[in-house]
């Protein structure tokens, strides 16, 4: 089966990541809470307050709304493989409401040395997202089981809070990355003037151009890691008619070319 990103409304989103060389991804914005399970190789997660190393057979729960650096390192056989799961926001909110005493994960929560039952539950949760024939209630139950596993080890994700203007802009742009977004269109969609939009973003130490570029490049990175789409198609998908222009922007953002992600990965 070729790599792909699967989304199921009301349940969540999942994908597998394949790499054949060590790469560092700086300043990745984690929009929503995510659980990552490493199958081969290791992952280093860094942020201002610390660092975690996640090895094969281990997992980590990462809170949304933060920026981190990530290094994926292949195993001795030259391959890195991991899977991730993002939940529908309603499932996270329901779990948090039902478990008020569990501490909230502010940055990341390492889950080392997981038992076979954890991995089996994770596989069921991934299957629940991928299998549209599975009844929705059962699919939501299987995805929510992973929140229980995280909770059993001492943490929970906070339900979604009021979004910053920057996140609202990022999500709006993410709904149609190929669109030629203007400040006027974004301001109108958010029911504010252009001047107010720019001022609010400046207060958050960002700008429309920064968010647009980062949203496009970050999603392109996801597609390069988690799908078999050709680079040309990915460039078009994120708003670039010229693949060479896309490649230049990608290298400026991450420090390496789009082809570096794919070297041997899709043959794993």
Tens-digit pLDDT profile for residues 127-150:
999 999 999 999 999 999 999 999
The pLDDT score that the predictor gives to residue 1 is 43
Q: Does residue 59 lie within any of the structural domains? A: yes
208 and 243 within one domain: yes
Distance of CA 135 to the CA centre of its chain: 25
Q: Does residue 140 lie within any of the structural domains? A: yes
Q: Does residue 158 lie within any of the structural domains? A: no
Q: Does residue 157 lie within any of the structural domains? A: no
Q: Does residue 83 lie within any of the structural domains? A: yes
> Under a CB-based contact definition with an 8 Å cutoff, are residues 122 and 83 in contact?
yes
Average pLDDT over residues 203-215: 95
- Provide the 10 A C-beta neighbour count for residue 49: 9
When divided into structural domains, the chain yields a total of 2
260 and 147 within one domain: no
Distance separating alpha carbons of residues 114 and 76, to the nearest angstrom: 21
235 and 263 within one domain: yes
Q: Please give the C-alpha separations between residue 176 and each of 17, 93, 216, in angstroms, as whole numbers.
A: 23, 26, 10
Among 152, 184, 205, the domain boundary falls at 152
The pLDDT score that the predictor gives to residue 152 is 95
57 and 147 within one domain: yes
CATH of the domain at 57: 2.60.120.810
Q: pLDDT of 143-196, one tens digit each?
A: 999 999 999 999 999 988 778 999 999 999 999 999 999 999 999 999 999 999
Q: Is the dihedral of CA 3, 222, 185, 64 positive or negative?
A: positive
179 and 92 within one domain: no
Distance separating alpha carbons of residues 34 and 129, to the nearest angstrom: 14
Stated as kind and residue range, the H or E segment containing 7 is: strand 6-8
Asked if the model's pLDDT at residue 27 lies above 90, the reply is yes
Q: Does residue 97 lie within any of the structural domains? A: yes
For 234, the domain range is: 165-267
Distance separating alpha carbons of residues 143 and 13, to the nearest angstrom: 10
Q: Does residue 174 lie within any of the structural domains? A: yes
Asked if the model's pLDDT at residue 238 lies above 80, the reply is yes
- CA distance between the termini of the chain: 11
Q: Output the six-digit token pair for 160.
A: 């979604």
Q: Does residue 160 lie within any of the structural domains? A: no
184 and 122 within one domain: no
| Average pLDDT for the chain | 92
Instruction: Give 6's contacts (C-beta < 8 A, 6+ positions apart).
Output: 13, 14, 15, 129, 130
Among 152, 175, 210, the domain boundary falls at 152
Q: pLDDT of 54-111, one tens digit each?
A: 999 999 999 999 999 999 999 999 889 999 999 999 999 999 999 999 999 999 999 9
Which among 102, 104, 148, 153 has a CA at the least distance from the CA of 125? 148
43 and 80 within one domain: yes
Per-residue confidence band for 123, with pLDDT thresholds at 50, 70 and 90? very high
Distance of CA 156 to the CA centre of its chain: 18
Report the interhelical angle of 194-203 vs 165-174 (nearest 10°).
110
Distance separating alpha carbons of residues 14 and 116, to the nearest angstrom: 20
The pLDDT score that the predictor gives to residue 267 is 39
CATH of the domain at 197: 1.10.10.60
Among 152, 183, 203, the domain boundary falls at 152
Burial (CB count <10 Å: 0-12, 13-18, 19+), residue 216: buried
20 and 113 within one domain: yes
Contacts of residues 44-47 at CB distance under 8 Å and 24 or more positions apart, as own/partner, are 44/70, 44/71, 44/73, 45/69, 45/70, 45/108, 46/70, 46/71, 47/107, 47/108
Residues in the chain: 268
């Amino acid at each position: 089966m070729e790599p792909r990103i699967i989304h199921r409304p009301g349940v969540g989103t999942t994908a597998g990541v394949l790499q054949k060389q060590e790469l560092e991804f700086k300043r990745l914005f984690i929009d929503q809470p995510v659980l990552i399970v490493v199958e081969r190789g290791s992952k280093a997660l860094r942020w201002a307050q610390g660092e975690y190393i996640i090895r094969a057979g281990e997992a980590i729960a990462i809170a949304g709304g933060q920026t981190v650096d990530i290094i994926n390192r292949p195993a001795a056989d030259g391959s890195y493989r991991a899977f991730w799961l993002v939940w529908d926001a309603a499932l996270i909110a329901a779990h948090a409401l039902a478990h008020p005493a569990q501490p909230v994960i502010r940055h990341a929560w390492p889950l080392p040395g997981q038992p076979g039952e954890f991995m089996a539950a994770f596989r069921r949760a991934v299957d629940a997202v991928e299998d549209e024939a599975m009844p929705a209630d059962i699919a939501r139950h299987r995805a929510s089981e992973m929140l229980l596993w995280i909770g059993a080890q001492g943490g929970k994700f906070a339900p979604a809070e009021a979004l910053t203007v920057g996140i609202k802009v990022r999500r709006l742009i993410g709904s149609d990355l190929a669109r030629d977004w203007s400040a006027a269109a974004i301001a109108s969609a958010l029911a504010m003037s252009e001047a107010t939009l720019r001022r609010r973003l400046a207060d958050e130490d960002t700008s429309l151009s920064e968010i647009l570029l980062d949203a496009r490049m970050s999603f392109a990175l996801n597609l390069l890691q988690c799908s078999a789409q050709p680079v040309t198609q990915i460039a078009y998908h994120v708003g670039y008619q010229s693949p060479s222009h896309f490649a230049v922007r990608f290298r400026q953002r991450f420090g390496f070319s789009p082809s570096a992600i794919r070297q041997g990965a899709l043959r794993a």
